[in-house]
Structure 1
Amino acid sequence: MSSKQTNKLLTFFSLYIAQSVPMSLFSTLLPVLMRQDNFSLSTIGLLQLIKLPWILKVFWAPVVDKKTSDLGTYKKWIFSSEMVYAILILLVAFLDLKTNFITIFILIILSFMASATQDIATDALTALSFSRKEKSLGNSMQSMGSFAGALVGGGLLLLHYKLIGWTVLLISVSIFVMLALVPLMSYKDRKFTPKKGSTPICMKDLLLFFSQKGAGRQLIFLILCYSGLIGILAMVKPYMVDLGYKTGDIGFMFGIFGSLCGCLFSYIGGYVIRSLGRFYSRIIFACAILATTLLFYFLSLTTPGTIALYVAIFCLWASYGLSSVLVNTVAMDFLRDGREGTDFTLQTVITHLSGMIIAVCSGKIADCLGYNGLFLVETALAVTSLIYILVCFKRPARHE
């Protein structure tokens, strides 16, 4: 790999990890601190609302598309939104959670709006900066940034919270977010292809995405691809609690070891897609997900040992890493000219919404059928996904 290609990948990795670290930290740390300060469970449950900007961002994605065209305009959007993100995190650092909860809550939502805006511009820039053959490598940086951010924000920083405290921790995160912009400052790409066309700012333009040939097939695949893993990801931590594992052990096995596996296989997944193509990668990754669901099902029939759980967690996060790259890659294949940020955002929002529904339902299923029942349902979803791929993607179509 040339030095220019390495610098290019590093630039996009830094942008994606800059989004992920603060989000993972707030999502993991705040519920713990709030419970320690005797906040009610209903109030803690409201924390899910901080993720709303990443669902609602589809409604201002057309604005970003309309105001961007060349590399310079994309840089301006990314720099400005990321600086706002860092400044808002810095403001939160000097507030007390117990006495300024509402203010902190509002500032975090605003910071996530800035981060979501950066994500729209970065996704569109990724789509325009990589050729079809290289696109999977760009998507590897996207997934690796997310997993590495979860590893740092939800794992390493959480472990160091007691040593450095709230203020120093968030100041450090704010500085990190700003430093992550450094590679973009010197980033140049002579092969960058400015986007074509213009994007009207209206709901009709969002709805026109669904009128494209193959849009239904694409969206069904995006919904099914993760479906066999989401319920397991949501319930594996309480499953480990019921097996008798301590919080620190779960944090290391799931948050650090698991995230590291996801990050590694996100990188591997990009090369697999580049080498074998979308068609065979869909089948291979779907088989990996199916094997993972079966492994968890058989483990749930007994009392698994620690090594067996490590193997299962490895398979879970490896499959998740592979499938996340695939989802991002095929989503970027299905973009209209001039609407790159809007179309990619729309697809990811649909994927995230379906994942949230499955995650919520997984708890109810586990209550009614037990963990083995949940894992069996997840196996059925994985089988459905594989069959769908084999039936609907026999021949490469326009977006394959």
Structure 2
Amino acid sequence: MPAFALVGLYAAQSITGSMVQSALPVVLRDAGVALDRIGLLSLLFLPWVLKVFWSPLVDRFSTPRRWILMCQGLLALSYVIGAAFAPTTQLAALLPVVFVMALLAATQDIATDAAGVHATTRQTRSLASGASTVGGYAGFLIGGGLWLWVYARAGWELSMVFLAVAMLLLTLPVRALRIERPEGTTKRPSLRHSLKNRTLIRGVGFLLLWQSAVRLGAAMTGPMLVDAGFSLDAIGWLRGAGGMITGLIAAVAGTLMCRRFGTRSVLLSAGLGVGACCVGLAIWAVAPGALWGLATLQLSLSALTAISFVALYAEMMNWCAPDQVATDFALLQSLDAGLAVIIGILAGQIAQHLGYAPVFGGAVALLFCALPLVRRCMGKPLPPEISLNNVEIAE
């Protein structure tokens, strides 16, 4: 599968999540909606946490291509319907529509990951992983950045039509896919089979430990900038444009490094770098220095996290059984999404009562518990590949 097709798929996958989780709260607050009501938007994240429970349906019925086409078409329609309900005056009517968007986007997420795995081999999984990260940033740019810009200048209705058009345009790469269901299996995909997959379960343990460290290290970086004295404009540039450019460059670099050195070596190196950045942030929290130093540490942390994610994502794909990729990968992502919520709450409590340094110190401790497990959990042989001779790209 051409790299541009994968990037397009993953960009479409992240548009809705970016709009719901990043841009819509800004719109609501600008309209004077109370913070406690805006906080309820976090419930819209539930489909991404719970998607594992309907992921076997994607493995059992039809093909990833058809699921993606269906979900993206319905998402475009949902955006048009949502245009009729301005959040400033009809929020109660809009929220059910947005929840349907979240359900469709989460299902699209399941099918897209399955398509990425089926269209690559173990040796080329880093391409799908890198495309996921690059596409995620592109989707964030559309759903979290450009959409907000269109809304500010053209209003709610046209901004939602803009998203519908963007989704339809990003459906074009899907038309090039010809991914059929895997051959050579009589097993009915289910979560029960996922729990019997030893490679996957070992990967789950490693994923939770590794991501606990990485997410804990990143959880309080935004509030830390505020308390350090950065203006909101500066934070917007640092975490918006600066973070996006850094992340995109890092994702491309991570893909190339995984192809050259392998995911295991890249994850080890990136993990050590993340640990070094967290140590630096802990020291800065105890003995504040120049603001440019803090900005450099945070951008470095963002870049190294992106590189580590490219390597980790590729291995997550390799842990999945070829005949139920959608189910296995959705299980990994749902656990990671639930972990993100828990770590975010925990980091806030630690920072509030003990300060920022213990947050970063805890991240370092968890990371150095995870690093020795990299060699054991990554690069393991896969089960025999199921025939996928019906995977092709349309001419």
TM-score normalised to the size of structure 1? 0.89
341-350 or 220-229, which deviates more: 220-229
**Partners of 1:193 and 1:207 in 2: CA distance:** 20
1:199 CA displacement: 5.3
Decide whether aligned partners of structure 1 residues 129 and 47 sit closer, same or farther in structure 2, where only a CA change above 3 A counts: same
Q: What residue number does 1:197 align with?
A: 185
Decide whether aligned partners of structure 1 residues 157 and 303 sit closer, same or farther in structure 2, where only a CA change above 3 A counts: farther
1:103 CA displacement: 1.9
1:50 CA displacement: 0.8
Q: What residue number does 2:320 align with?
A: 335
Q: What residue number does 1:108 align with?
A: 98
Q: 1:88 touches 1:111 (CA, 8 Å); kept in 2?
A: yes
Choose from 355, 358, 363 the match for 1:370: 355
**Partners of 1:121 and 1:241 in 2: CA distance:** 39
**Partners of 2:225 and 2:150 in 1: CA distance:** 23
Q: 2:13 touches 2:112 (CA, 8 Å); kept in 1?
A: no
Q: 1:228 touches 1:293 (CA, 8 Å); kept in 2?
A: no
Choose from 375, 380, 383 the match for 1:397: 380
SS in 2 for 1:338: helix
Please show how residues 237-386 of structure 1 align to structure 2 within 5 Å.
Answer: 237-386=222-371
1:248 CA displacement: 2.2
**Partners of 1:195 and 1:342 in 2: CA distance:** 17
1:186 CA displacement: 3.2
Whichever residue aligns with residue 3 of structure 2, its letter is L
Q: 1:87 touches 1:174 (CA, 8 Å); kept in 2?
A: yes
Choose from 60, 65, 79 the match for 1:75: 65
What RMSD over aligned residues (CA atoms) do the two structures have, in Å?
A: 2.3
Q: How many residues align?
A: 383
Choose from 137, 157, 160 the match for 1:170: 160
Q: 1:155 touches 1:256 (CA, 8 Å); kept in 2?
A: no
Q: What residue number does 1:58 align with?
A: 52
Q: What residue number does 1:35 align with?
A: 29
1:342 CA displacement: 0.6
Q: What residue number does 1:48 align with?
A: 42
Whichever residue aligns with residue 45 of structure 1, its letter is G
1:33 CA displacement: 2.8
Decide whether aligned partners of structure 1 residues 64 and 396 sit closer, same or farther in structure 2, where only a CA change above 3 A counts: closer
Q: Percent of aligned pairs with the same residue? A: 27
Query: How big is each residue's C-alpha offset from its partner over 1:42-87, in whole Å with a ceiling of 9 and x where there is no partner?
Result: 222110111111111111111111113xxxx332211111011111
Decide whether aligned partners of structure 1 residues 61 and 107 sit closer, same or farther in structure 2, where only a CA change above 3 A counts: same
1:184 CA displacement: 2.1
Q: 1:151 touches 1:255 (CA, 8 Å); kept in 2?
A: no
Decide whether aligned partners of structure 1 residues 232 and 251 sit closer, same or farther in structure 2, where only a CA change above 3 A counts: farther
Whichever residue aligns with residue 121 of structure 1, its letter is A
Q: 1:293 touches 1:375 (CA, 8 Å); kept in 2?
A: yes
1:182 CA displacement: 1.1
39-48 or 152-161, which deviates more: 152-161
SS in 2 for 1:89: helix
Q: 1:228 touches 1:289 (CA, 8 Å); kept in 2?
A: no
Decide whether aligned partners of structure 1 residues 162 and 110 sit closer, same or farther in structure 2, where only a CA change above 3 A counts: same
Decide whether aligned partners of structure 1 residues 382 and 160 sit closer, same or farther in structure 2, where only a CA change above 3 A counts: farther
Q: What residue number does 1:86 align with?
A: 76
Q: Which runs of 5+ in 2 are unaligned?
A: 384-395
1:312 CA displacement: 1.6
Q: What residue number does 1:99 align with?
A: 89
